[in-house]
Structure 1
Amino acid sequence: MRTFIGIDFPKSLKEQIVEVQSFLKSISKKGRWKYIDNFHLTLKFLGEIEYEKVEKIRQALEKNLKDFSRFSLKISSCGYFKGHGNLRVVYLKPDGNLEKLNTLFSLVEDAMAEVGFEREKREYIPHITIAQDVVLNEPFENFHKYVECFSFDEIPVEKVILFLSEEIDRKRVYTPIFDIELV
């Protein structure tokens, strides 16, 4: 099973993200566009795991997050990771209580290290992927200005979810396996 740990969003926020994504499409020659149900914030990519490991993952997360309180984030900006001749990933940036988000990330990392997963070596850059392999017709700055003027709902961080990532009918589908409620 291919899996990751992340934060899901309310449908209303996902619909707002689609609106912003549509603007990006309108100024692009091409790209691969994330499906509305797949917008999320990743905390830890686990990759392929055996089903038998799911319960150990649950127990480690429950132990490490048992006293962790809920909080919220806000989307405030956007960015991209550069590719060869394109924008490899275009994303929205969460803002707000980033200190608490980084603490949550660290607690998840600690829990997964206890289960035997390797710690992330790269700096955690929280981002919400909306497109990949994008080639623009206009400067990225036009999209950046659009996003900065857009009013997004808050991102409630109320639970952490272990997602199954699979391809069904040539479409990537993320299905929750379990969630850990924050206090």
Structure 2
Amino acid sequence: MEDKLLITVKSLLLLALCLLAGTCQASQLLPGDLVFREGTEPVSEAVMVMDDNRFSHVGMLAGQPDDWQVVHAVPEGGVISEPLADYIAAEHARQFAYFRVKATDAQRQSATDFAEANLGVPFTLLDAGVPGNGTYCTLLIRDAWQAAGIDLQAKFKHLNLPLYPGDFLLPSGLLASPLVSPVLQDTDSPS
């Protein structure tokens, strides 16, 4: 617990220094970039234990540098859009990082259009991805890029969950894609 508190304090201090120094560049980000975070909710701990990864959640940037929004799927609300500042705020994220999918501008626009067209779709783990059933965060991202004509080659993981056994796309399955690379870490957060 102390290690996680130290990471949170360190991340916040570095973010504050970055903002005060004016070295953060929102212009380094593009629509369609992925924002991974280690969430603060109990479900985040469960995801990270199952995934053995430092991130528990992912969303997609939409909009523009002066008004970034993050489109993501959450249990309490389904697919939603919220300001980037809220998505990465300390009460929601212990740490976060930005990743980029290798794509053209047209493919980025297509992926963000798909994600935004899914606003309001319910959150589900059961039969996720089946039309009309709903989605979850990583599947929304994979499907958005697939709709844009890009196969992320995401790796699903079989989990023997008591009520939901099956193959699930966890954050590490997206990060393993050869088309996904880091852009900024939380210490380089955009202003």
Greater percentage in strand = 1
Asked whether the two chains share a fold, i.e. TM above 0.5, the reply is no
If asked which structure has higher relative contact order (CA below 8 Å, sep 6+), I would say 1
Q: Based on CA coordinates, which of the two structures has the bigger radius of gyration?
A: 1
Q: TM-score, normalised by structure 2?
A: 0.30
Q: TM-score, normalised by structure 1?
A: 0.31
